Structure 1
Amino acid sequence: MKTSTIGAAACRALFIAAMFCSPVLALAQDTRTPSKITAVTVYTDRAIVTRTASVELSAGESCIALEKLPVDLVDASVQVRGRGTAAATILDVTTAITHTDKVDATSQPRVKTLQDELKAVDKTLRALNDRNTTLQWQVSLVGKIEDAIAAPPAKDAPASHPKIEDMQKLLDFSRENRAALAVEGQKLSDEINETQGRRVALQSQLNEILQGGSARKSYKTVTVRLNAAKSGSLDLTLDYTVHGASWTPAYDVRLRAEERVVELAYHGIVRQSSGEDWKNIALTLSTARPGLGGSAPEAKPWYVDVFVPKPAVDASSGSFNRTGAVSLGNSNALMLNTAAMDNRFNNDMAGNRYTFAANGDGYTGGRLTAAPALSVVTSDYAVAKVDNTTTSASFKIAAATSIPSDNTPQKVSITTAKLGAKLQYQSLPALQETAYLSAYVDNSTEFPLLAGSTNVFLDDAFVSTSSIKTVMPSERFQLSLGADEGVAIKRRVVNRFSETTGLTGKGRRVTYEFLVTITNKKKTVERVVFKESLPISRNEKIVLNVLAPAERDIGTVEKPGKEVTREENNTLVWRIDMKPGEKREIPVKFNIEYPGDIQVTGLE
């Protein structure tokens, strides 16, 4: 691949210079061909753009120039392929940087339109601010009237008491006027904020034109040199990589509690600032990470040795060589930048030229044949098609999409699905007497659910903004749906007392007794899980005795199956399936014994 700044006419110049040596080159044509973006595959940190162009070729050699491409496109990523009736062979593909001439941006019609709109917006803002000043005066006037009536009479004024009817009229007057002024003030504030936002947007557009339009812009031109054995049509496809593009997943999750179903809307949030707008393109979102490469990194030796101080080195001059190495003038050190040589193509350095033979359907030496007709299939629902590989997945968005090059987030729909859910109420009543609803959902789709933000709804009510981790097909994930009053849970202290133990009374015992009450107010059977933390002794002299529930009724993680289980950090966990309207009272009782001659911390 060649990258230079010689302009789009480089190909023509080469052929003119060589025309006395080759009669075939003398027949070469240089054609500037319009192209359009038809498809884009977006990764998490880059995108592959597909452009298409159609040309009519005459027999002989031709140069097809595709102009005004992003200046930051990755030269080594350029691939060209083609199909058509012209029996053509791609000889080479080159890239070149071209520059536009400076233009007077103030002469553009769009500038005059924006300036007129700004004047109109400024006039509207002045009127709104005048209305706001009047409104504030009215509010102040109502306050002064209230103060004047409520103020005590002067010392030399005759004593008088206002009538109840007059005071009621004053209160009604104050309430009605203040309410009306508050409504008008809120409405006026919204209008001012909206108008100011419009002014900022207009000014931003104007600044972009004035600053960017008067500057010299740079683009890249890809020139395809090919040879046609006979005249005919040719459809070229150009692929190249650009940075400044990314996508992240986002979800709307709606639980239908009575149906025990989760309605999942899977979205992709796409941003791009590649330098060109993508209009009505076929969009694909990929989970692959090409920047990581295809192989795992190799382990490097980790040396440990005795430290030996090195003598000080004076400052020295140095230089970079073509391999990316740094040489220091007065030193034997040589620092190799091996990364500078990664992923490089072999270059033909003669005449400072970089060339390569295109791969794909239009590879060097191959023939281009007419493409078969494409069949068009319509879908009932606009959902993405997923292509799974061993290491990644690609989502082909069904509807044509437009993504401007301004880095603003654009939401596209990947798919919708209905997933089965198991509901569970969770609580830690010792800290908060509230039951929190959770849904455990199985990903029964063929789509992996990548880690991303989630808007959670319970029926038609918004609950919260949360996030999920990556969930593969057939994997289960949890959704937190917030507090739900459908299950009530209360915990009260029944008793707490201290006593001495032993024949000599030198021992101490502290007993705690609680009662947890759970009520299922729902019309359906609900599972309730609540936890009670028991003390953990860090000294063998301090002994914990659990009295209720009985030790024989407590299961373990290794041997579950009982209503209550002892789990990590000495926590008792109850899992109860409660019938509609059912009420349960569960006692929790334990004591702590220790010698009286030690002081114990952590007792409540």
Structure 2
Amino acid sequence: MASPTRTIEFDAKGSEWPIQNVTVYNDQAEIVRTLEFKPEEPGPLELRLKGLPRSFQSESVRAEVTSANATLVEVSYDSVWKEGVEDDETRERREKVEELTQTKLGLQKEIERLNFKNDFLQKYSKAVLPQNESALIDGMPACVSMVDNLDSIDNFMAFCTDKQEVFDNRQAEIIAEQKELQQEITFLTKNDKRSHGVQELNEVIILLDIPEETLENEGLVSLNLIYLVWNAKWTASYDIHVDKQQSKVILTYYGEVSNNTGENWNEISMSLSTARPSAGGNLPTLPISNVRFKEHQNQMQEQMLLQQQGRNRQMSMAMRSDMMAQQMSNFAFFDVPQVQQRDEGRRRLQSPQTSSSGGSNAVFNIQRQVSIESDGLEHKQTIAIIDMEALLTHAASPKVSAEKVYLKCSARNVSEYPILPGLMKIFMNGYFLAESYTELVRANEEFVVFLGVDESVKVELKPVQKKNEKSTGGVMKGKPKKTRRVTYQRVIRNTSADVVRFVLYEQLPVSQDGKIKVDLIKPDLKKKLKDISYKLNSFNHVEARRTIQPNSEWRFMFEYLLEWPADDGDVTVYETKIAGEYTD
């Protein structure tokens, strides 16, 4: 004869079956509850965990027996809608709403009393003060005896004015308080778990088979319950500390964790994952392609639709091009120099440690116990501290930045994990500089942090010289030609006590016609110098690089010559914005 099934019930808010591990994703979290118990009888045993939150994803539930003295038979779940059922959290919300509502009603009654007092004061003033000259005797009100407690009419009027001001100020305060109370009531009502007095109750049922040997050996049964919940997420944020003297960067990697699941996480082990479970991992199904003759009545309609789609694509491409050009216009003249990677032994990844979850995703394990309430607020957790070498470069493009010189820091992500998009706070030599935002930086990729304008390095702009000439010969033999010689002079002064690595960008026009010839006169790109290097990058910008010693200057000459047939009129130099990443 089969043994009867015994049942043990647990409350999800209780301590008998606690949450031990939480893995947070970008829009949900995986919960692991661990249960250890000593069975009293052999045979089938049903475990019921009641009171799971509404964020519970029933299709995700699974269980695993981690001890060898019990067999998992079945895992199921049940959702029950009960009327009038109210948990502690819902009751607290309801009581809070009732309390706020009573406070709001009390304020409304106070406004009514203030209005009554104000009306009474105005009526009393009209009764006391004369409304016409006939009520005056020797310039004084005939009923002045009614205000004999006041020294004069002026005092009485001042008294009325002060009282009305008090009434008005208090009424304004009450209206502001009522507005705040209503906002709080709306928030609590919106987030109330009840729906017209009906509440969803989730529970998980696990059926085990307990052999007699377990009781004979007095063994403990260990069981893990695993499920997903919505309303949990984490985002990355960073502190960047730049040490200018040591030429290094210390990046502190944070995870901003938000828990609004309805379950408090008390003293749990936490992991933060870059995986996206909701995105799915299956290859989309490729549809079958068919062909047929077009029906005559649909030909015109389909042709018009295709034409409209073509126009939409052209407009979309034009808009995207304009947006990219606008976004890149501020970065068009800054390069990303190569940074030498540090030796593996010099890399520092501090606790909490990280571990890979396989594939292209990463899991960061927080190396301490964490407690996060279900309050929807962001709780900052330290993920890692990454020590990197930095390449500090001063850069200027006088054509667009005038005399300003910008300091930028280039570094390489020497960790094996990605730096995710997120807010970045930038510090240099212990001082806060600014907030920025970083895009995705994969392992071993370089990234650039702009540190703003450095006032200790300046560029002095000498007047531009343009000289037009007309001569014979040249472009077309035997025909007159025109030339224009353009000369710039830049004086870069380093007033700091440090050696600076400097790069200067100048525009060399690109000929858009075969008849127009552009010759670079200065600098000579082929000339090899000891401490100066020149090159023409893919945007036809001349890059001049050199190291400038403390309290010294560098005079840079830039000159080019335009030549074209005189019969073709004049030429004009115009600019085209760069749409795309500046990679030179």
Report the TM-score, using the length of structure 2 for normalisation. 0.67
Question: What's the CA shift for 1:420?
Answer: 1.8
Give distance in 2, aligned partners of 1:526 and 1:388: 43
CA contact (8 A) 1:279 1:402 kept: yes
1:550 match: secondary structure: coil
Give distance in 1, aligned partners of 2:408 and 2:452: 8
1:24 alignment partner in structure 2: 2
Give distance in 2, aligned partners of 1:196 and 1:261: 54
- Which of 373, 398, 415 is the aligned partner of 1:429? 398
- Which of 20, 30, 55 is the aligned partner of 1:48? 30
The question of 1:223 aligning with 2:205 is answered: yes
**Deviations 1:293-338 (CA, angstroms, capped at 9, x unpaired):** 55655766766x57512889xxxxxxxxxxxxxxxxxxxxxxxxxx
Question: What's the CA shift for 1:64?
Answer: 0.5
CA contact (8 A) 2:531 2:547 kept: no
1:263 alignment partner in structure 2: 250
Question: Closer, same or farther in 2 for the Cα pair 1:105/1:62, shift >3 Å?
Answer: closer
Question: What's the CA shift for 1:217?
Answer: 1.5
CA contact (8 A) 1:33 1:53 kept: no
**Deviations 1:202-240 (CA, angstroms, capped at 9, x unpaired):** 435643576738631213211111111234542321011
CA contact (8 A) 1:71 1:97 kept: no
The question of 1:589 aligning with 2:575 is answered: no
Q: Is the deviation greater in 448-457 or in 414-423?
A: 448-457
Give distance in 1, aligned partners of 2:195 and 2:278: 34
Give the counterpart letter for 2:26 in structure 1. Answer: T
Q: Show the 5 A alignment for 1:148-297.
A: 199=181, 202-204=184-186, 206-207=188-189, 212=194, 215-230=197-212, 231=215, 233-294=220-281, 296=283
What are structure 1's unaligned runs of at least 5 residues? 1-22, 131-190, 313-379
1:507 alignment partner in structure 2: 481
Give distance in 1, aligned partners of 2:460 and 2:471: 33
The question of 1:540 aligning with 2:508 is answered: no
RMSD: 3.9
The question of 1:529 aligning with 2:497 is answered: no
Aligned pairs, how many? 446
Give distance in 2, aligned partners of 1:63 and 1:197: 51
2:189 match: secondary structure: helix
What are structure 2's unaligned runs of at least 5 residues? 12-16, 115-172, 299-348, 575-584
Question: What's the CA shift for 1:531?
Answer: 0.4
Give distance in 1, aligned partners of 2:288 and 2:490: 59
Question: What's the CA shift for 1:588?
Answer: 0.7
Q: Show the 5 A alignment for 1:266-415.
A: 266-294=253-281, 296=283, 307-309=293-295, 383-387=352-356, 389-405=358-374, 407-415=376-384
Question: What's the CA shift for 1:515?
Answer: 0.4
Question: Closer, same or farther in 2 for the Cα pair 1:306/1:546, shift >3 Å?
Answer: farther
CA contact (8 A) 2:75 2:204 kept: yes
The question of 1:481 aligning with 2:451 is answered: yes
CA contact (8 A) 2:93 2:192 kept: no
- Which of 531, 537, 548 is the aligned partner of 1:567? 537
Q: Is the deviation greater in 282-291 or in 525-534?
A: 282-291
CA contact (8 A) 2:353 2:365 kept: yes
2:42 alignment partner in structure 1: 59
CA contact (8 A) 1:103 1:213 kept: no
2:551 match: secondary structure: coil
Question: What's the CA shift for 1:196?
Answer: 8.9
Question: What's the CA shift for 1:423?
Answer: 0.3
Q: Is the deviation greater in 413-422 or in 587-596?
A: 413-422
Question: What's the CA shift for 1:97?
Answer: 1.0
Give distance in 1, aligned partners of 2:57 and 2:32: 13
Give distance in 1, aligned partners of 2:547 and 2:507: 21
- Which of 58, 67, 82 is the aligned partner of 2:65? 82
**Deviations 1:335-355 (CA, angstroms, capped at 9, x unpaired):** xxxxxxxxxxxxxxxxxxxxx
Question: What's the CA shift for 1:111?
Answer: 5.0
Q: Is the deviation greater in 45-54 or in 398-407?
A: 398-407
Question: What's the CA shift for 1:244?
Answer: 3.6
Question: What's the CA shift for 1:591?
Answer: 1.7
Give distance in 2, aligned partners of 1:441 and 1:603: 37
2:415 alignment partner in structure 1: 445
1:462 alignment partner in structure 2: 432
**Deviations 1:112-134 (CA, angstroms, capped at 9, x unpaired):** 566657877997xx99xx9xxxx
Give distance in 1, aligned partners of 2:83 and 2:504: 72
Question: Closer, same or farther in 2 for the Cα pair 1:494/1:465, shift >3 Å?
Answer: same
Q: Is the deviation greater in 520-529 or in 206-215?
A: 206-215
CA contact (8 A) 1:96 1:220 kept: yes
1:6 alignment partner in structure 2: none
CA contact (8 A) 1:549 1:589 kept: yes
Give distance in 1, aligned partners of 2:573 and 2:350: 62
Give the counterpart letter for 1:397 in structure 2. Answer: I
Give distance in 1, aligned partners of 2:389 and 2:42: 63
Question: What's the CA shift for 1:63?
Answer: 0.7
Question: What's the CA shift for 1:287?
Answer: 1.8
Q: Is the deviation greater in 114-123 or in 288-297?
A: 114-123
Question: Closer, same or farther in 2 for the Cα pair 1:491/1:119, shift >3 Å?
Answer: farther
**Deviations 1:49-75 (CA, angstroms, capped at 9, x unpaired):** 111234442212111001122445444
1:95 alignment partner in structure 2: 77
1:577 alignment partner in structure 2: 547
Question: What's the CA shift for 1:594?
Answer: 1.1
Question: What's the CA shift for 1:252?
Answer: 1.4
Give distance in 1, aligned partners of 2:95 and 2:208: 46
CA contact (8 A) 1:104 1:214 kept: no
Give the counterpart letter for 2:33 in structure 1. Answer: R
1:207 match: secondary structure: helix
Give distance in 1, aligned partners of 2:267 and 2:408: 40
**Deviations 1:85-110 (CA, angstroms, capped at 9, x unpaired):** 9x321211111112343158999566
Question: What's the CA shift for 1:463?
Answer: 3.0
Give distance in 2, aligned partners of 1:450 and 1:88: 43
- Which of 11, 16, 33 is the aligned partner of 2:10? 33
2:493 alignment partner in structure 1: 519
2:462 match: secondary structure: strand
Give distance in 2, aligned partners of 1:472 and 1:248: 16
Question: Closer, same or farther in 2 for the Cα pair 1:119/1:71, shift >3 Å?
Answer: closer
Give distance in 2, aligned partners of 1:267 and 1:197: 36
Question: Closer, same or farther in 2 for the Cα pair 1:514/1:410, shift >3 Å?
Answer: same
Report the TM-score, using the length of structure 1 for normalisation. 0.65
